[in-house]
Every structure is written in C-alpha cells, then in structure tokens.
C-alpha cells in the first residue's frame, strides 16, 4: 500500500521515526541489561532458560516470570526497531 505524503510533512515524519528509532534502541539496551542480570544470577543463557521455562521445568519464581517477560519484550522491541529502520531505508 502506497501512501502519498506532501513534501512539507515528510521531514516531520522522518524526524519522528528517527526519534522512535533512538528510543527503541535505548529501550533495547535497558532490556538487554536486565536480561543479562538474570543470566548472571542464574548462570544460564536466556535460550536455555526459556526452553526449561516453556516446558514447565522451573518453579514459579517471580524472577522467572519477569525474565520470560523481558525476553518476549525484547523480541517485540527488535521487531518494531527493524520495521522503523525499514521505513527510513525505503524513504
């Protein structure tokens, strides 16, 4: 689907997308830092943790649910960042 954008509005939209990219990158860094803390605390990679968690092999610790949520959130942020970058690249 193509959308027509007038020349006077295009710079505003581009600037907004650039700001969104910066914010998403910042959020990604924060989430990655929090995930790393869990990995260090539990001496496990996130992928190994997620496999065990999804199979129900771990307990019901609040940490586990938070870690799982961070992993899911990370994927969502990465997807949004990739989409925002794709828009700018195609522009």
Q: What does the alpha-carbon distance between residue 41 and residue 8 come to, in Å, rounded to a whole number? A: 51
3-state helix, strand, coil in the chain (%, to 5): 80, 0, 20
How far is Cα of residue 10 from the mean position of the Cα atoms in its chain? 26
Computed from CA positions of residues 78, 84, 86, 88, in that sequence, does the dihedral angle turn out positive or negative? Answer: negative
Domain boundaries, the chain: 10-90
CB-CB contact of 67 with 49 (8 Å): yes
Q: Is the pLDDT of residue 6 over 90?
A: no
State pLDDT tens for residues 30-75: 999 999 999 999 999 999 999 999 999 998 999 999 999 999 999 9
């Amino acid at each position: 689907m193509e959308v027509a954008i007038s020349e006077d509005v295009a710079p505003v939209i581009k600037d907004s997308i650039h700001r969104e990219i910066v914010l998403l990158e910042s959020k990604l860094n924060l989430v990655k830092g929090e995930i790393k803390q869990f990995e260090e605390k539990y001496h496990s990679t996130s992928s190994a943790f997620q496999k065990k968690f999804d199979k129900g092999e771990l307990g019901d610790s609040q940490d586990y649910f938070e870690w799982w949520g961070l992993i899911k959130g990370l994927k969502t942020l990465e997807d949004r960042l990739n989409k925002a970058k794709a828009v700018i690249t195609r522009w």
